Amino acid sequence: MAGCSESPEDSPENRLALAQQALTLTPDDPEIAEIYQRTCRSCHSTGASAAPLTGDIASWEPRLDKGMDVLVENAVNGFQGMPPLGLCFECSPKQFEQLIAFMATAE
């Protein structure tokens, strides 16, 4: 039965803690912080969508394994529930890379 149980990382308590943490995280770079607050934060800090939470390293790890080029391409073109350009119509590929790196590591 252990295979049917919820892992500690998937528990509602852990998801709530990660969402609360995600609400407090902000990039150090002021330009990237402004973009994050305006375009990324609404999905990546609430847990209300299927978007991986900012700072949830376990959720970002399999995505990062695909490579940054794939993640930037997904951000530009849209992927699953994420709209094209993540609603950052003026973002450059480099800015998307910086945003993804921040969200995936919260550093």
The number of angstroms, rounded, from the C-alpha of 106 to the middle of its chain's C-alpha atoms is 9
Q: Where are the domains of the chain?
A: 27-105
Query: Between the CA of residue 78 and those of 6, 11, 36, 42, 103, what are the distances in Å?
Result: 30, 28, 17, 16, 17
Identify the CATH number of the domain defined by range 27-105. Answer: 1.10.760.10
Tens digits of residue pLDDT in 17-75: 887 888 888 999 999 999 999 999 999 998 778 899 999 999 999 999 999 999 999 99
Reduce the DSSP state of residue 73 to 3 states and report it.
Answer: helix
